[in-house]
């Protein structure tokens, strides 16, 4: 059991149904698990209420880096450099003896930021002043002016990057060999005591999303809004979408503008660029919070950053994680499946499993893949026995030649800079307690373990530097060539102790303080950026 809400959008069901190959069932009753969260698991951040959402299960394992700075602008404007990872030269094999590619370890990674969202939890309808720390409210004291229950409505950005080589979007991959990216903005249609009307819940979901691929023109290829999205919204158009090759170095900017939040990517290797602005002109919108209405109504809306700075206090009150400016990898979404049926259920479990598990859903056969000839399932790996939890990451073999042969490389990215300056502090955070079974990991953190139960390995972030200076982050094992710091060399050492977080409650979960994360806050930034990758 876990606590997560799912998007409930009939339009997305239509989009996913158009993708070839076996699909997870779309015949679930209204209000249960939405197919988008199974077919494209990166599309739903985990809310703080640690429970199933309306009978459906969608949990996300998200090892993350959080960046803190007291400088004005650090909460709403930053730049990064990213090098996209190369795949292992050895193709994956159905029996598990081949290489391990990026799609088998993480279904996406993303850059995040907290946003104003005036129709979202906990107080939809209250105006939000963008780019302002006056929005900070994280106290558990109802009598305090900064009680979290008084927080203005909040949203969250994920600038998501999708690995190539497996089943086509809206499931995992945009292309056989190239990467793509999307701006995805989320809100939650609820207060502490009410959810939105039934039509909004059925069509947009309690947790809803605006979705737009990063395009070379900066204009969405199809409607991005929760009620207007079509199959084309989630199917990348090669004539419009920015495609990027493995090994390319990218300059990434996340910043506010008068029109709305801007995500831009400049591919320094190919010379191409793309962007997306969360603006009214681009069709971004949010469902109005009207609990008593018979039909769902949305209005055009420009999304802007919530805060001026980034710290332990700049949070989204409805998410399990505690981040504002962040980088996260979405792992735990691949298990081998030798044969799937037309409903997307695994009939013949693959290597590593002796019997069919409850998480063997949202499955595809090898023939559905764009390139790598393997079948597998992308539902949340509830028992932590899939490829993400095996020593199949870059740097898990001491022999670097053998490691490169069978393990795809890690991404490399710099710490963010704001107005040319580094963030002064950072933290490691992972939401293992939120996704571990309640029979093992209690709400107060008792029994929660790192790595999670069943995992044979858990990836860590490490740093590297170059002869000309600079520093970059990477992910995997301790043997990645050029590694300079492994932060204790284990996930338990890196992510630190359990973190108890206050949550003001919602209609499905009580107010209280619960453990959803392990977090380790460092006094400084051990990997400052000089603006470029080493």
Sequence-distant (6+) residues with CB within 8 A of 399 are none
Q: What pLDDT score was predicted for residue 31?
A: 29
Task: Over range 156-175, report the average pLDDT.
Answer: 94
Q: Is pLDDT larger for residue 387 or for residue 60? A: 387
**pLDDT given for residue 60 in this prediction:** 79
Task: Give me 182's structure tokens.
Answer: 């999307």
pLDDT reported for residue 135: 98
Would you say residue 396 has pLDDT above 80? yes
Distances from the Cα of 512 to the Cα of 146, 189, 237, 474, angstroms: 16, 20, 45, 35
Retrieve residue 287's tokens.
């469902």
- Does residue 157 surpass a pLDDT of 90? yes
pLDDT digits (tens, 9 = 90+) for 8-62: 222 232 233 323 333 332 222 222 334 343 345 446 666 655 444 433 434 579 9
**Helix H segments across 280-437?**
400-406, 432-435
Q: DSSP letters along 356-377, please?
A: --TT--SEE-GGG-SSS---EE
> Tokens 């999304």 correspond to what residue?
303
Span 438-455, pLDDT tens digits: 888 999 999 999 999 999
Please say if the pLDDT value at position 504 is more than 60.
yes
Residue 184: per-residue pLDDT? 94
Please give the angle made by the CA atoms of 405, 410 and 411, to the nearest 5 degrees: 140
Q: Give the per-residue pLDDT at 457.
A: 97
Say yes or no to pLDDT of 105 above 80.
yes
Look at the pTM and tell me if it is higher than 0.85. yes
Q: What is the mean pLDDT of the chain?
A: 89
Q: Which residue has the higher pLDDT, 69 or 49?
A: 69
Residue pLDDT, tens place only, 191-212: 999 999 999 988 888 889 899 9
- Whether 431 has a pLDDT exceeding 70, the answer reads yes
Over residues 452-479, the pLDDT tens digits come to: 999 999 999 999 998 778 999 999 999 9
Rounded Cα gap, residues 199 and 440, in angstroms: 37
pLDDT of residue 52: 44
| Least confident interval from 36-50, 121-135, 137-151, 486-500 | 36-50
Quick one: pLDDT at residue 299?
A: 98
pLDDT per residue over 264-287, tens digit each? 999 999 999 999 999 999 999 999
Count of beta carbons in the 10 Å neighbourhood of residue 93: 15
| Residue 144 CB partners (closer than 8 Å, separation 6+) | none
Q: What is the per-residue pLDDT for 207?
A: 86
Query: 321 or 509, which is more confident?
Result: 321
Q: DSSP letters of 126-177?
A: S---TT-GGG---BS-TTSTTBGGGPPPEEEEEEEEE-SSSSBTTTSBSSSS
Q: Residue 358: pLDDT band by 50, 70, 90 thresholds?
A: confident
Q: For residue range 76-92, what is the model confidence (pLDDT) as tens digits? A: 999 999 999 999 999 99
């Amino acid at each position: 059991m876990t606590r997560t809400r799912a998007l409930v959008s009939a339009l997305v069901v239509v989009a996913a149904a158009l993708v070839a190959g076996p699909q997870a069932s779309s015949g679930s009753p209204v209000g249960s698990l939405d197919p988008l969260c199974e077919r494209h698991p990166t599309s739903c951040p985990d809310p703080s209420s640690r429970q199933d959402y309306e009978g459906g299960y969608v949990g996300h394992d998200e090892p993350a880096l959080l960046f803190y700075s007291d400088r004005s602008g650090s909460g709403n404007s930053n730049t990064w450099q990213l090098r996209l990872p190369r795949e292992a030269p050895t193709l994956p094999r159905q029996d598990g003896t081949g290489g391990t590619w990026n799609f088998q370890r993480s279904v996406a990674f993303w850059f995040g930021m907290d946003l104003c969202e005036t129709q979202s939890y906990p107080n939809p309808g209250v105006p939000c002043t963008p780019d302002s720390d006056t929005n900070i409210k994280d106290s558990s004291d109802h009598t305090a002016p900064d009680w979290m229950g008084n927080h203005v409505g909040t949203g969250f950005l994920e600038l998501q990057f999708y690995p190539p080589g497996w089943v086509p979007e809206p499931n995992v991959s945009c292309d056989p060999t190239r990467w793509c990216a999307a701006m995805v903005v989320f809100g939650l249609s609820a207060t502490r005591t009410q959810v939105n009307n039934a039509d909004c819940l059925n069509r947009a979901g309690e947790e809803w999303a605006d979705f737009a691929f990063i395009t070379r023109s900066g204009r969405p290829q199809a409607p991005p809004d929760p009620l207007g999205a079509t199959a084309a919204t989630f199917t990348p158009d090669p004539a419009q979408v920015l495609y990027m090759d493995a090994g390319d170095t990218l300059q990434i900017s996340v910043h506010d503008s008068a029109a709305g939040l801007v995500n831009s990517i400049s591919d320094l290797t190919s010379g191409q660029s793309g962007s997306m602005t969360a603006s009214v002109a681009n069709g971004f919108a949010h469902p109005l919070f009207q609990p008593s209405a018979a039909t769902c109504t949305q209005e055009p809306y420009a999304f802007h950053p919530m805060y001026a700075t980034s710290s332990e206090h700049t949070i989204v009150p409805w998410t399990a994680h505690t981040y504002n400016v962040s980088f996260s990898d979405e792992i735990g979404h691949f298990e081998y499946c030798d044969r799937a049926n037309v409903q997307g259920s695994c009939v013949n479990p693959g290597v590593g499993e002796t019997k069919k598990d409850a998480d063997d859903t949202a499955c595809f056969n090898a023939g559905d893949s764009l390139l790598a000839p393997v079948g597998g399932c992308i539902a949340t790996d509830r028992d932590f026995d899939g490829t993400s939890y095996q020593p199949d990451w870059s740097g898990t073999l001491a022999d670097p030649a053998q490691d490169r042969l069978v393990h795809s490389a890690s991404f490399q990215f710099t710490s963010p800079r704001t107005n040319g300056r580094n963030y002064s502090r950072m933290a490691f955070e992972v939401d293992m307690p939120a996704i571990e079974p309640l029979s093992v990991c209690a709400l107060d953190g008792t029994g929660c373990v790192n790595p999670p139960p069943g995992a044979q390995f858990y990836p860590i972030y490490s740093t590297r530097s170059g002869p000309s200076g600079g520093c970059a982050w990477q992910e995997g094992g301790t043997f990645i060539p050029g590694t300079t710091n492994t932060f204790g060399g284990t996930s338990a050492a890196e992510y630190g102790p359990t973190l108890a977080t206050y949550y003001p409650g919602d209609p499905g979960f009580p107010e209280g303080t619960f453990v959803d994360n392990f977090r380790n806050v460092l006094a400084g930034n051990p990997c400052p950026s000089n603006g470029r990758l080493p």
